[in-house]
Chain A
Amino acid sequence: MGKVILEVKNLKTKYITRFHEDVYSVDGVSLKIEEGKSLGIAGESGCGKSTLALSMMGYYFPPLHYTSGDIIIDGVNISGMDPDKVRTTILGSEIAYIPQAAMNALNPTMKIIRFIEDVIHAHDKSVSKQEIRSRAEAYFKEVGLPPEVLDRHAVELSGGMKQRTVIAVSTILSPKVLIADEPSSALDVTSQKMVIKMMKDLMKNGHIRAMMFITHELPLLYNVTDDIAVMYAGQLVEYGSAHEMVFDPIHPYSHGLMGSILVPEEGTRGANLTAIPGTPPNLKKPPVGCRFAERCKYAKPQCFYTAPAERMFGENGTRMYRCLMDEEELREVYANE
């Protein structure tokens, strides 16, 4: 077992709306990422994937509020830290975060080098501009981007190049963890491949030590990350290695998700897709029992009033699922379908 870089213990956060209602967006998530590993988070829109990313960085700006739980980055507990302090000491140097569609939000009036100056100056005001430029040029060369990009404006770059620039800018301080939220979903398949290769190379060359990848595209997760966690209504319902999750999902929700994968391979055409009817629960009033019970084909009466706990299983007890039914029982149900 490698060294744990990022650990989250029973993290609970909520949004408070302007009508003073609580929305329990992340509700008891525990996970860890070891050195050199990558974790993928899958789940449908609105299940809390992006909120989990924000919560894991300690980035609590209203309406997001911290409730309880621990966030430990390389042995240092940052939970409860002042968000302004997080911005200047954690973000960029400990955890780098690429929000969804970040590449479309680059200020069009600024050259790329100015973004890098901003990042470095937020942490250390004493670095001179010449030093930043030479550092940036060396780093861009290393990650496979032409240094001329530094003197361009964002609008002059193509989509794939813009996204790679965003990744380079956000990892210039060699953060321990990179959290990427849908980094490639707005790109075509060719540029997507370049972005993924760049992120994998960053890991290989030691610029980042662990990675969290958020997307709803399962074939992509399978190819990029070591582990996959499936999220539903603010909780993780299952996690395990990428191979186990795709070929042997246990939780009814992940079973349904994996059954809807579409790839251009033999056997896809005419295959029976599993569709999950219904909509996720309202997180203002999360259900008392299992959150998935309402949409679950196999739900029993007790599922509606008993909340399932996390259960470990698998060879070394490394996999987790959150369901009242036993592993054998679920496997039998799937086999009989």
Chain B
Amino acid sequence: MSERKDYTNGPLCLSGRNLTRVFGTGAKQNVAVDHVNFDFHEGEFVSIVGESGSGKTTLSKMLLGLLNISEGEILYQGKPRDISNRKKLNEYWKGIQPIFQDPFSSYNIFHKIDAVLLDCIAMRGGKHLPYEKKVEMMTEACSFVNLKFAELTNKYPFELSGGQMQRLMIARIFLLKPKILLADEPTSMVDACSRATILDMLLNLRDETGMTIIFITHDIGLAYYISDTIYIMEHGKFVESGKADEVILNPQAAYTKRLISDVPKIHEEWDLSTVEMNNTL
């Protein structure tokens, strides 16, 4: 068992104050994210866990600045986030970058892989570097994720497998070096062995660059393995949050308890006798 460094007391990186998002109006009003408060620290590995429909993705889109906020505010590095115009938004996106669930739809199918990586270098202000230097950077990024850059040049994204595409996404992040990485279910479409590889890469990335990683998932076992802090989300609210060990081994909220007991485990018996069929039509 390897000890991990404690990142939960660093300077504030991203915070939310009464963050709310409402869809629709009147009778059809749907509060997707309901007055949530959070503080993410620098270098912290945060997981947001919830079932489908709990508002995880809405929250992540707000954090990325892709969705307007109905109420409340987001503080970026302690100051209110300002993305009022395109220039400021681009500046903000240098600090926060996402990895999405579906690697197959994350790439422009007409761009070759080196073009994808060269874009990242250009975004970091390396547009006028000599080409040899760029190749060196791309090779380093690819070797970080166990890919061989020499084999990837002149390939299109569809020639890679799902796991390789997702790893290339991480190579992008390695080149961009944002302050915050927002990973929305990055491992749900790859299988178990590739999943372990990707998780360990994310942990290495955090240790190497000190970036904050916000990991959104429905898999509570995975969240427990990887994160320092876990937020449990139900119907748009955080019902429980705290250090991973506290939340998982000693859950307080009824929802967390239910979520943990519903997951099949290998050392404890999975109790099926208490299951009640939900037969509401």
Contact = CB atoms under 8 A, between A and B. Distances in A.
Interface of A: 44-45, 144-146, 148-149, 152, 156-158, 160-161, 164, 188-194, 196-198, 200, 216-220, 222-224, 246, 256-257, 259-277, 279
A144 B220 contact: no
The prevalent SS among residues of A at the interface is loop
A261 B265 CA distance: 10
A260 B193 contact: yes
Contacts of A164: 277
19 contacts: A146-B279, A160-B278, A189-B259, A190-B278, A194-B275, A196-B272, A220-B264, A222-B264, A222-B266, A260-B192, A261-B266, A262-B221, A263-B265, A264-B265, A268-B221, A275-B194, A275-B196, A276-B196, A279-B163
Given A144-B277, A263-B263, A266-B249, A275 B200 contact: yes
A257 B146 CA distance: 19
Contacts of A273: 196, 199-200, 225
Given A219-B221, A263-B263, A197 B248 contact: no
B144 interface: no
B192 A257 contact: yes
Interface residues of B, number: 48
Contacts of A188: 51-52, 218
A219 B221 CA distance: 10
A172 B222 CA distance: 37
A219 B260 CA distance: 13
Nearest to B258: A190
A168 to B, nearest CB: 12
Contacts of B278: 158, 160-161, 190-191, 194
Nearest to A220: B264
Interface in B169-221: 191-197, 199-200, 218-221
Interface stretch (B1-9, B79-87, B105-113): B1-9
B91 interface: no
Contacts of A264: 220-221, 223-224, 248, 260, 263, 265
B47 to A, nearest CB: 11
Interface string B48-87: 0001100000000000000000000000000000000000
A156 B218 CA distance: 25
Contact of A260 (B196, B249, B281): B196
Contacts of B248: 264, 269
B225 A193 contact: no
B128 to A, nearest CB: 36
B18 interface: no
Contacts of A219: 221, 263-266
B197 A270 contact: no
Nearest to A243: B266
Contacts of A257: 192-193
A145 B248 CA distance: 33
A216 B191 contact: yes
Contact of B192 (A192, A216, A263): A216
B244 interface: yes
Interface string B1-35: 11110000000000000000000000000000000
B281 A193 contact: no
B193 A44 contact: yes
Given A193-B275, A265-B268, A272-B1, 10 more contacts: A44-B194, A156-B281, A189-B263, A219-B265, A220-B264, A257-B192, A257-B193, A265-B266, A266-B249, A279-B161
A216 B281 CA distance: 31
For the complex of A and B, the 7 pairs showing the least CB-CB separation, nearest first, are A189-B262, A273-B196, A262-B221, A276-B193, A275-B197, A275-B196, A260-B196
B219 A277 contact: no
A294 B151 CA distance: 18
A44 B197 CA distance: 14
A265 B193 CA distance: 20
B219 A262 contact: yes
A272 B281 contact: no
Contacts of B218: 188-189
B161 to A, nearest CB: 6
A269 B244 contact: yes
Nearest to A274: B196
Contacts of A158: 278
B245 interface: yes
Max count, chain A CB within 10 A of own CB: residue among B3, B259, B270:
B270
